[in-house]
Structure 1
Amino acid sequence: MIKGQEFIDALKIVAPGLKEILGKDFVLVITDQEQFLDYYPADTFDLKIQRGNQIPPGDPLRLAMAQGCVQSNNISKEVFGVPFKARAVPFYDDNGSVMGGIGVGVSMETEVTVMELSHHLQNSMQDSAKALEHIASTSEMINDIEQVLHQHVTAISSAAKQIKSVLGFVQKMAAQTQMLSINASIESARSGESGRGFGIVAQEIGKLSLDSKTTTEQIKTLTDQIEEKINAAIHGSENVLKANHDQSVGIQKITATIEELTAISEQLAQIAQDL
């Protein structure tokens, strides 16, 4: 409880230097029960109070004196151009009767700016988290598709190897057929006129054998090229799978960081609100 005229007189003496002492920008008003006796404006905002003016009805100072207790209010920026926290305290005479009130308004511009930045940071973090969640979902889908594609390419590579194995068998058969054709031609020559027809058949078999050999060589060349491309595709697919995995790990780390920053910004907003 603030009591005595001597305290008020002392407050009037030190009031001009209080802002420098406390390091805060604020307004200070002193009233009796009906009107403003003294007014000390802030550096950044002015309540336009004139000494001798009547205290408006509903003013925190009137409530503080009427109820005999401290009144606190937060005044928005729209009212005087700067947000501030108002606090009204009644003071008493030596008999315990209310003599008047002391009102202090402390600028909250810094606190409000911190809160606004904090809310902006929270919104940005939430938007970033949603974007990362979408990227992670897309990444998982791409990874699933890439794994299926990798399986298909591996299966094609296995089929290409089987084709090469079959071609090797065909080449072997063509060589054996060619050898049989040569032997048949020799036997046909030994048989003379009676073996001429057999010789013609042997020649045709030899031609087919040569054609088969040429064709299998061409197929083998193409199969080798296909296998080379498939191996390159498998290597690229493995790199993509690894990159997707690394991206997924990176997204998880970034998401964790965003969650930490969001928590910090919420704490910052709470601290600014409590100032």
Structure 2
Amino acid sequence: MIALNGVESCKSLAELLANLIPGGVVFGLVEKDTFVWVKSSESFTLDIFKVGNKLNDDTTTIQAIREKKVLVKNIPRTVYGIRVSIVSIPVLDDNGNSVGAFSIAMPKLHPVAAAFGDFAPIIAEMFPEGSYIYMSDLTKIAYAQPSKKFDMPTLPVGYELQETDISHRVIQSKKPIIEEVDALKYGEPLTIANYPLYDDANQNIVATLGIITPKNAAVALRGMAGNLENSLEGIAAAIEELAASASEIHSNEGSLNSTINDIIKITDEINDVSAFIKLIAEETKMLGINAAIEAARAGDAGRGFGVVAGEIRKLSDQSKSTVPKIKQLTETIKQKVDEASRKSDLSLDASQGQAAAAEEISASIEEITSMSEELNRLARTL
């Protein structure tokens, strides 16, 4: 209670305290039901606290006067547009009658709002690309703190919340929301996180706290990871095709090597036939010589037979002389075939190495592709 003769002292004290109380304050002196004196801080005022304003019977101040006791009441935002705590202290005359009240009104700030000016400038600078920290009440942005690297001029203090804004949706849902916003809305890709803030007394949502961070680096990293993944997929497809070609080459080389071996066998058979021809030629020559001897013994009767025997010897000699040529040719063929066989073996080994290398490259590409997918996943978390 305040004695009537102590009112002037209270007013003097209020004059001193008005701009010293954090968050602001309004002092008012009411006689009966009308404000006769008001002192507001520079940062806070209330329309109801004006000299000449009359109070309704249901106000805290009138109740305090009527009940002759100090009343403290938290006024919801719906009454004055801001949450307020009002303390009403009855003023008593010398007879103990209530003749008025000394009222004090202070904005009821959420602890986060009260500390916003202390923590927001620090946190805003903790992100590599900068950030924008803001706090809204139920209708507009009330506090904002840009960083040196990043600002949101389209969301200044006083900005009225729209239905599409995250803060508005958090207020409606009473749940935190974190969203990635593409460059179409604000000119660059952003991540916006917004959280509801509650009144400690009744757990009603009274404000939201949001932080906006640019995601240019993350988007660029994500694009690079996507391009890397696509490139690796193309390389992997080419490697698979190369591996398939190497496998086919290996198969063809194996078939060629088998064919060369068959040719070598055929040249060996030709040599056998040549040897057999040589043997026949020698035996034919012997038969021709024997025939000539017998023709000589027969005299004139065997003269014609002797001519034939001579021709047989000539054919035998010709056949015998042909055999070395055939042998020479077959030897040449065999040498060429042996050389081709060696090259085929080398090619076969090379194709096997190529196929193995292609498989190793393909395995490496798969590993790099897996790493690019992980890189892409990490980029999405930034």
Letter in 2 for 1:12: G
Q: Which digits, 9 at most, give the CA deviation of each residue in 1:107-133, with x for residues without a partner?
A: 222332232222222222222222222
Contact 2:129 2:150 in 1 (8 A): no
Letter in 1 for 2:113: I
Contact 2:124 2:146 in 1 (8 A): no
Q: Corresponding residue for 1:244? A: 351
Stretches of structure 1 lacking an aligned partner (at least 5 in a row): none
Q: Corresponding residue for 1:205? A: 312
Contact 1:47 1:80 in 2 (8 A): no
Q: Matches of 2:145 and 2:271 in 1, distance apart?
A: 98
1:71 to 159, 163, 177: 177
2:335 to 212, 218, 228: 228
Q: Matches of 1:222 and 1:207 in 2, distance apart?
A: 23
Q: Corresponding residue for 1:114? A: 221
Return 48-57 or 8-17, whichever deviates more.
Answer: 8-17
Return 265-274 or 242-251, whichever deviates more.
Answer: 265-274
Letter in 2 for 1:66: Q
SS in structure 1 of the partner of residue 125 of structure 2 = helix
Q: Matches of 1:183 and 1:235 in 2, distance apart?
A: 50
Q: Corresponding residue for 2:364? A: 257
2:154 to 48, 54, 57: 48
Q: Does 1:166 align with 2:273?
A: yes
Greater helix percent: which structure? 1
CA shift in 2, pair 1:51/1:4, >3 Å: closer
Q: Matches of 2:150 and 2:283 in 1, distance apart?
A: 106
Contact 2:253 2:347 in 1 (8 A): yes
1:27 to 121, 132, 141: 132
1:60 to 166, 172, 184: 166
Q: Corresponding residue for 1:82? A: 188
Q: Corresponding residue for 1:91? A: 197
Q: Which has the higher contact order (CA 8 A, sep 6+)?
A: 1
Give the superposition deviation at 1:100.
2.3
Contact 1:27 1:39 in 2 (8 A): yes
Q: Does 1:142 align with 2:253?
A: no
Contact 2:124 2:133 in 1 (8 A): no
Q: Matches of 1:72 and 1:14 in 2, distance apart?
A: 21
Return 205-214 or 13-22, whichever deviates more.
Answer: 13-22
Q: Matches of 2:219 and 2:193 in 1, distance apart?
A: 18
Larger Rg: 2
Q: CA RMSD in A?
A: 2.6
Give the superposition deviation at 1:191.
5.8
CA shift in 2, pair 1:233/1:47, >3 Å: farther
Contact 1:45 1:80 in 2 (8 A): no
CA shift in 2, pair 1:44/1:230, >3 Å: farther
Greater strand percent: which structure? 2
CA shift in 2, pair 1:113/1:263, >3 Å: same
Q: Which digits, 9 at most, give the CA deviation of each residue in 1:180-211, with x for residues without a partner?
A: 43454456556655543343222211210121
Could you list the structure 1 runs, at least 4 aligned residues long, displaced by more than 6 angstroms after superposition. Answer: none
CA shift in 2, pair 1:22/1:76, >3 Å: closer
Q: Which digits, 9 at most, give the CA deviation of each residue in 1:79-118, with x for residues without a partner?
A: 2233221111233445344332221012222332232222
Contact 2:177 2:195 in 1 (8 A): yes
Q: Corresponding residue for 2:303? A: 196
Give the superposition deviation at 1:273.
2.2
Letter in 1 for 2:166: P
- Aligned pair count? 273
Query: Percent identity, aligned pairs only?
Result: 29
Return 149-158 or 195-204, whichever deviates more.
Answer: 195-204
2:122 to 2, 5, 17: 17
SS in structure 2 of the partner of residue 254 of structure 1 = helix
Q: Corresponding residue for 1:129? A: 236
Contact 1:44 1:82 in 2 (8 A): no
Q: Matches of 1:45 and 1:224 in 2, distance apart?
A: 90
Q: Corresponding residue for 2:326? A: 219
Contact 1:28 1:39 in 2 (8 A): yes
Q: Which digits, 9 at most, give the CA deviation of each residue in 1:241-263, with x for residues without a partner?
A: 22222222112212222222222
CA shift in 2, pair 1:52/1:45, >3 Å: closer
Give the superposition deviation at 1:60.
1.0
SS in structure 2 of the partner of residue 25 of structure 1 = coil
